[in-house]
Amino acid sequence: GEIIHLEDYRPTDFVLERVDLTFELDPTETKVEARLIFHRREGVSADAPLVLDGDELTMTGLLLDQEEIAAANYDAAEHTLTIRHLPAAAPFEITITTQINPEANTTLMGLYRTSNVYCTQCEAEGFRRITYFPDRPDVLAVYTVNIIADKASTPLLLSNGNYLGGAGMGDGRHFAAWFDPHPKPSYLFALVAGDLGVVEDTFTTLSGREVALKIYVEHGKEPRATYAMDALKRSMSWDEERFGREYDLDIFMIVAVSDFNMGAMENKGLNVFNDKYVLADPETATDADYANIEAIIAHEYFHNWTGNRITCRDWFQLCLKEGLTVYRDHEFSADQRSRTVKRIAEVRHLKAEQFPEDAGPLAHPVRPTKFREINNFYTTTVYEKGSEVTRMIATVLGADLFKKGMDLYFERHDGQAVTIEDFVACFAEVSKRDLTQFSLWYHQAGTPLVSASTAYDAARQTLTLSLEQMVPPTPGQSSKEPMHIPLRIGLLLEDGTEAQVTSVSGAEMTGDVLHLVERKQTVVFAGITSRPVLSLNRGFSAPINLHFEQTPADRAHIARYESDLFARWQALNDLALPNLVAAAASAKAGKPVHCDASLIDALLAAAADGDLEPAFRAQALSLPSEADIAREIGGNNDPDAIHAGRQQIMSAIAKAGQTIFEKLTDEMVVSGPFSPDAASAGRRALRNTALSYLVYAENQPARAVDAFNAANNMTDLSQALTILAHRFPESAEAAQALATFKARFADNALVIDKWFTIQATIPGAAALNRVTALMADPLFNGSNPNRVRALVGTFAFSNPTGFNRADGEGYRFLARQILDIDTRNPQLAARILTSMRSWRSLEDVRAGHARNALRDITAGKKLSADVSDIVERMLK
Ligand code: HT7
Ligand code: ZN
């Protein structure tokens, strides 16, 4: 495919006024009639043709105002339909008839079939697989949709908006009509038809309108949709309270399907979900599953205002809806659960996924300026870094001005397709701040590195903080401007209280926010009566890497006294990382691994501190991951050494804390019937963390076997199984537990995905043979994205020692899988391939194997645009 550039954006020549669609559904021969009313935009020359997008379409009819268009007046090419000699000024109607084959559609884009249900996915460019259309987000129109299908097999006929009516047609078929009064871009169109069960409820909006809520799932699975319904109602209330946003149709529907490329899709009034993010009950869903369902239900619902009512002018503006909506769902979860624990989870995820992307060959700005395949830009940079940038706007402006800016945005741009510049302008206007420098967060890729050092002057009672920032080069951006970095800070005195600063010079401060804006900046805090400990980047106020040589004693001081609990967790991490890095080096050199007493003391103090909520303590005890350690080391990585070193640090902590961990496994028992609430989940998390340490200390499986047998919920069961399989992979106990689990859940594909994932992530070189064997299991299905992600995806993304085998077999395996998956589902193939994005930071032998495997992919014939875009950028 060719490269599309932001600077080439032009509005369409023709304005689309109305869309009328009629679907005659058939598994292999669906007929689509699209009636489109256009008029020529003012100022556009009278001979400009109408050019519509299309992809894999068979056109069977083309009319202008109900008259057949002569062959000489149009061209149907592979990806466009061009129509000439159209009216100069008056509106006209184009009627296009196309025929499509949903059954044969394995890409899961456009109209496809999943478990006998017709389903569409149109974002980003799937609508053009249904009919010829101006398939771009700045074309907003009002849609009427008629659906005709066989009544017995397809009783349910759904589309966007409000239901107009329907009836039988006398020939065994029936029809339903829907009208969506809100102008929308084609990517928000949806149609679902089939035979499904439903869970129903209602919601009364703040202004008193009653909305029908319906969640459609496979028959028999209705009881597993009740938590999703609860999450939906809480999301609707929260958006009213926090952002003043009400729902705007008579009905809101969610449909769960089992074949889906992503998590979910925010089609107007008709969200379509991967069933993984709808279905839950205590026996089959973990606490993490419940939290994900809550977050994704909220996310898609929140899109109704941030994405649907106000949409993107073009796909370069994707972060306008995604970054903002992720920020909104993060805030929702923080309000529903523990704010600190939520923030820790967000930052862990950001560092594990976005930081590596920003540091590798796929790095791109939050608001990119060019792309070859838009599907490859639904990235953690656009989503998660985009959310962090929104969070920083709130930090820079303060809560009140942020709210004012959001209100202005909703008021000014409702019904429009806009840009990041439009969004930022609202905040600049209400705050009277120049946000030009701040906007570099949208335009410069790469994670800024901030280096800090402090000097205390007892005689002058001042603390001098020297800051320096550097944004590393990224593909296409070799040199960068200094950014506006909002750093929340605290100065902790020896007794743990905060220093009362009398004045600050050298930087703007707003509350506890220090504004770093220069490349180098020296800040002096006065009135400080004794040497303080600086806590920098509280709450992870800026998504940066920080280079700040603090002593273990200072870090331990923060871990003990900070009023910002996130900063306490951060300090524990900062204590752990140097130990883990040194441990990897020792393991590599065959030397004994050493663990500082200060780390062990601080971790165990947090573990035993009954004033801290259990979920926080569980996070505190979870050491940085092997990927975190690799990132800290920076290059020439040996995943085996990192793994071995980390194991030994775990053992040292486990042995030192054995009595505390034993006590916790008793204290944290959750009694009574299962409840997925955050407090109960936190107790389970702490108990399972303690259990995992105890198994390290004892180095035998008995305790995990007992936990597996005693478990009465999926969180405890899957944790116990993970411990058994990962720590004692060759044991009879692990084999027995895996077999029991499989037999018990063989009819529940979402639970079997956990069984695949646990085995795909067993550390060590033997993992590859296990994965290969599991692919032949009758429960595996290479065309279902959830199965493929659970087995092949987690192996590549989350098994550093298994995937990065020194002999390169892991990479060659992945290359073969990518070529195979690409023949069916290019989007899925491209996404899984990004697991190799950090290949250049491996030691030479592994990096060489990885490069060769990537080259093998480029040699594949007929690569999709999705995969060739990723592989070429990774090899550049
Ligand atoms: N806006 C959606 C992103 C999306 C997607 C979803 C399913 C399949 C293909 C897709 N392409 C893009 C999901 C969201 O961010 O809410
Ligand atoms: Zn989204």
Dihedral sign (CA 467, 473, 479, 481): negative
Of 378, 381, 786, 866, the one to substitute when testing ligand 1's pocket (max ligand atoms within 8 A of C-beta) is: 378
> The dihedral of CA 715, 720, 726, 730: what is its sign?
negative
Burial of 183 (0-12, 13-18, 19+ CB in 10 A): buried
Separation of first and last alpha carbons in the chain: 17
Tell me whether the CATH fold assigned to 449-549 matches the one assigned to 746-876.
Answer: no
What single-letter amino acid sits at 834?
A: T
What count of other Cβ atoms lies within 10 Å of the Cβ of residue 268? 25
- DSSP characters for 536-555? ESGGG-S--EEEE---HHHH
| Cβ neighbours of 577 (radius 10 Å) | 18
Among protein residues, the one with the nearest Cα to ligand 1's atom 14 is 265
Q: Does domain 449-549 correspond to CATH entry 2.60.40.1840?
A: yes
DSSP for residue 140: -
Within 46-172, strands assigned E span: 50-53, 58-64, 67-68, 74-76, 80-83, 92-100, 110-114, 117-121, 141-150, 156-159, 162-168
Nearest CA to ligand 1 atom 15: 322
300 is annotated as an active-site residue: yes
Look at residue 860 in the predicted model and tell me its pLDDT. 82
Distance 371 CA to ligand 2 centre (A): 19
Among 326, 302, 290, 193, which Cα is nearest to 252's?
Answer: 302
**Ligand 1 center–CA 277 separation, angstroms:** 13
Please answer whether residues 157 and 175 qualify as being in contact, where contact means their C-beta atoms are separated by less than 8 angstroms: yes
> Per the CATH hierarchy, to which homologous superfamily does domain 550-699 belong?
Peptidase M1, alanyl aminopeptidase, C-terminal domain (1.25.50.10)
What pLDDT, on the 0 to 100 scale, is given for residue 191?
99
Query: Which residue in 620, 624, 485 sits closest to 562, CA to CA?
Result: 620
Mutate to test the pocket of ligand 1, among 120, 123, 302 (most ligand atoms within 8 A of CB): 123
Q: Which 8-state DSSP code applies to residue 862?
A: T
Q: CATH 2.60.40.1730: does it fit domain 4-302?
A: yes
Q: What superfamily does domain 311-443 belong to in CATH? A: Neutral Protease Domain 2 (1.10.390.10)
Domain ranges of the chain: 4-302, 311-443, 449-549, 550-699, 746-876
Phi, then psi, of 456 in degrees rounded to 5: -100, 135
Q: 345: closest CA among 682, 684, 792?
A: 682
Count of CB atoms within 10 A of residue 788's CB?
25
Residue 68 region by backbone torsions, left for phi larger than 0, else alpha for psi between -120 and 50, else beta: beta
In the structure encoding, which two tokens stand for residue 390, read together? 């929104």
pLDDT at 13: 98
Report the separation in Å between the CA atom of 123 and the middle of ligand 1, taken as the mean of its atom positions.
6
Using DSSP's 3-state secondary structure scheme, residue 103 falls into helix
| Residues with C-beta atoms within 5 A of ion ligand 2 | 322, 325
CA distances from 213 to 198, 203, 305, 548 (A): 10, 7, 18, 51
Per-residue model confidence as pLDDT tens digits over 108-150: 999 999 999 999 999 999 999 999 999 999 999 999 999 999 9
> Which CATH code for domain 746-876?
1.25.50.10
- Residue 796 Cα to ligand 2 midpoint, Å, equals 25
Q: What is the pLDDT of residue 1?
A: 76
* Residue 861 pLDDT: 82
* pLDDT beneath 50: ranges in the chain: none
Helix H segments across 367-516?
380, 386-397, 399-413, 420-431, 440-443
Q: Is the pTM of this model over 0.90?
A: yes
Neighbours of 827 (CB within 10 A): 23
- In this structure, the residue with its CA closest to atom 4 of ligand 1 is 123
